[in-house]
Chains A and B, each alone.
Chain A
Amino acid sequence: MIREQVAQATAGISNAAPALLALRGVGKVFSNGVTALSDVDLTIREGDFLSLLGPSGCGKSTALRLIAGLSTPTSGVLDWRGGGSLDRSNIGFVFQEPTLLPWASVFDNVWLPLRLKGISRAKAAPAITEMLARVHLTGFENAVPRELSGGMKMRVSIARAMVTKPRVLLMDEPFAALDEITRFKLNNDLLELWQEERFTVVFVTHSVFESVFLSNRVVVMAARPGRVFDELAIEASYPRDEAFRTSPDYAALCRQASDVLVNAINSTAGSHHDGH
């Protein structure tokens, strides 16, 4: 209990939602000596849509991989609620590329996480069909990835991550390679999905606009060494739609986030001279 209170105090926002994961003094030094992350304190609360925003090299992807358990911190601890580590099956991960099996159909790609848990195709079918409907891919079950557009591939990737109904969805710049129109659409659909299910999202991005539109919390990171620079609460209410995207509130929040990001980038500008 005391632990959780401390964790929430670190986050700097008072909120009733219980903490799901606390990163305490987490650091990561790669074997080549590069410090990817240094002394990161961050609390992720149940139901958060939290964006990690920062320039390239700020360690935001590294942080995500640590949370996923794909890599281990060299210092500090990740404290999942209830102690220890979270069951991996409670995590969904969406990569920067769609990362689909090119030889498998859309249906089989979404089946994969369930298949790896030993669930047969027939048994998994209802869950897969439902998930495909929710990402608006009904009718494309038998298509193979190369027959789909970039946006559709990403939808398959999201469906695959969500088909196990994970409590946490980790997304590593998932829409960075998409055109703006497709990106807006996927942003809207992702928010819709999140509002219905209220899972927790950690969303890595380098886009100010995307992070402000999606999240209730934007954590701005700075580079060299990768660290948490500041945090912004985006207090606009959900559902957020196209009206929000064009509202003055949104513009003001974006400007605010932009300023913080510029400060974060400037805070490392000095190290350019000795580094390069």
Chain B
Amino acid sequence: MTVIDGTLKLDPEEARRVRQERLERIGRWVLPLAIMILAIWLWDRICVWNEIPQYILPRPGVVLSTLDNDAGLLFSSLLVTLRITFLSLLLAVVGGVGLAVLFAQSKWVEMSFFPFAIVLQVTPIVAIFPLINIYVDNQTTKLLLCAWIVAFFPILSNTTLGLNSVDRNLRDLFKLNGATRWQQLRYLRLPAAMPYFLGGLKIAGGLSLIGAVVAEFVAGATGQSSGLASRIIEAGYRLNAPRLFAALFLISLTGILIFLVLSLISHLILRRWHESALKQER
């Protein structure tokens, strides 16, 4: 830095860095938005230029108006899907954390039961569903079970990792102070596992939506469901592409919202202390 006439002047290197930073800050929002608008415009143009019929590829405007016209039907279906999604996410949190705590109690328990969790995770849910269909009568339970199987694993494996990643000195400190097992879990291991759990939760949020939709698809094929996925199947049969696109749009939007909300929750909880939530200062 050089001082000229009493004013502080940035050297060219530093000035360039500041300019770069400002550009990046604006670009982070403007660029993806511009690309998105361009893509939608191109979609619209392709439909017009090639005279593509509506039942094959509807124009974006048509999708939007369908969203408005079919609002009652679509949103009641969205509610059904949302209910399954959130209930299964809730169960995944309870089940995942509960199992992780159980696993953390002893290496033996973890070693014995972890393979089961992995088997459940790696077997495609579409392949398991026919079995569930045989054994479970209640429609909601069926879907819930399906979505839960997909969603609980990231929470279980992340939380287990977190519970086992406690600083050794802190463990000694608790031991020195005569902490009980429960105190160690409550005041040390659970808070230490929080960042890991929240990472798992973000993945599980998306997966529970996928699980719910996939479950509906499989169940919907037998005409038993009323969620967004069954709307999609139905629309597909009737060559009602605008409604299909509208339903698809709603599912994507839901997924994005779930991710954003979970990211916000994670940020709010970790912002004061965890590395991942801290702004970098140079």
Tell me if chain B binds chain A.
yes
Query: Footprint of B on A, CB under 8 Å?
Result: 68-70, 88-89, 91, 93, 95, 97, 99, 101-104, 112-113, 115-117, 144-146, 164
Supposing A99-B170, A145-B273 touch, asked if A93 and B194 sit within 8 A by C-beta, the answer is no
Q: Are A70 and B176 in contact (CB-based, < 8 A)? A: yes
Of the A-B pairs whose beta carbons lie under 8 Å apart in the complex, a sample of 18, sorted by A's number, is A70-B172, A88-B176, A93-B173, A95-B169, A97-B169, A99-B169, A99-B170, A101-B191, A102-B273, A103-B274, A112-B177, A116-B177, A116-B183, A117-B177, A144-B272, A144-B273, A145-B273, A164-B177
Complex CA gap A211/B194 in Å reads 40
Q: Report the minimum CB–CB distance from B213 to chain A (whole Å).
A: 36
B179 at the interface (CB under 8 A from A): yes
In the bound assembly, the distance between CA atoms of A31 and B244 in angstroms comes to 66
Q: Which residues of B contact A97 (CB under 8 A)?
A: 169
A91, B175: Cα distance in complex, Å = 12
Inter-chain CA distance A95–B168, complex, in Å, is 11
Please give 10 more A-B residue pairs, beta carbons under 8 A apart, in addition to A70-B172, A101-B187, A104-B191: A93-B173, A95-B172, A99-B167, A99-B169, A101-B188, A103-B194, A113-B177, A115-B187, A116-B177, A146-B278
Judge whether B178 is part of the interface by a CB distance below 8 angstroms.
Answer: yes
* Cβ-neighbour of A103 out of B174, B176, B183, B191 (below 8 A): B191
Bound form: Cα–Cα A173–B248 in Å = 61
Contact A146 B273 (CB under 8 A): yes
Chain A residue with minimal CB distance to B178?
A88
Interface size class of B (residues with CB under 8 A): 20 to 34
* Known contacts A88-B177, A116-B178; is-contact A102 B274 (Cβ 8 Å): yes
* Shortest Cβ distance from residue B199 to the other chain A in the assembled complex, whole angstroms: 16
Chain A residues whose C-beta falls within 8 Å of the C-beta of B179 in the assembled complex: 116
Q: Which B residues form the contact surface with A (CB < 8 A)? A: 167, 169-170, 172-179, 183, 187-188, 191, 194, 272-274, 278
Most interface-central of A70, A91, A97, A116 (chain B CB within 10 A): A116
Q: Which residue of B lies closest to A91 (CB)?
A: B176
Q: How many A-B residue pairs have CB under 8 A?
A: 54
Task: Name the CB-closest residue of B to A115.
Answer: B187
Chain B residue nearest to A92 (CB atoms) is B176
When A93-B173, A99-B169, A101-B170 are in contact, do A116 and B187 touch as well, CB less than 8 Å? yes
Given contacts A144-B272, A146-B273, contact A68 B169 (CB under 8 A): no
| 4 nearest A-B pairs in the assembled complex, by CB-CB distance | A99-B169, A116-B177, A95-B169, A102-B273
B173 touches A95 (CB 8 A): yes
The answer to whether residues A70 and B274 also contact, given A115-B187, A116-B183 and a CB cut-off of 8 A, is no
Q: Let me know if A112 and B194 touch, CB within 8 A.
A: no
Q: Shortest beta-carbon distance, B163 to chain A, in Å?
A: 15
Bound complex: CA A116 to CA B170 (Å): 13
Cα-based distance from A144 to B277 in the complex (angstroms): 14
Bound: A68/B278 CA distance, A: 36
Residues from chain A with a CB closer than 8 A to the CB of B273 are: 102-103, 144-146
Q: Which residues of A contact B177 (CB under 8 A)?
A: 88-89, 112-113, 116-117, 164
Bound CA span A103–B194, Å: 10
A105 to chain B, nearest CB (A): 9
What residue of chain B has the Cβ atom nearest to residue A114's Cβ? B177
Give Cα A104 to B183, complex, Å.
Answer: 15
Docked complex Cα distance between A95 and B167 (Å): 12
Q: How far is the CB of B111 from chain A (nearest CB, A)?
A: 21
B195: nearest chain-A partner, CB-CB: A103
Residue of B nearest to A146 (CB): B273
Once the chains are docked, how many angstroms separate the CA of A146 from the CA of B278?
10
Which residues in B have their C-beta under 8 angstroms from that of A70?
172, 175-176
Chain B residue nearest to A71 (CB atoms) is: B172
Residues in A with CB closer than 8 Å to B183 are 116
Residues of A within 8 A of B175 (CB): 70
State the Cβ distance, A143 to closest chain B Cβ, in Å.
10
Report yes or no: A89 in contact with B178, Cβ–Cβ below 8 A. yes
| Complex CA distance for A64 and B188, rounded to whole angstroms | 24
For the complex, give the distance between the alpha carbons of A112 and B191 in Å. Answer: 14
How long is the Cα–Cα vector from A238 to B169 in the complex, in angstroms?
Answer: 33
Q: What CA separation (Å) do A116 and B180 show in the bound complex? A: 8
Task: Give Cα A95–Cα B173 distance, bound, in whole angstroms.
Answer: 9
Complex CA gap A88/B191 in Å reads 25
Considering only CB atoms, which chain A residue lies closest to B278 in the complex? A146
**Nearest chain-B residue to A93 (Cβ)?**
B176
Contacts of B176 in A (CB 8 A): 68-70, 88, 91, 93
Of chain A, the residue at the smallest CB distance from B194 is A103
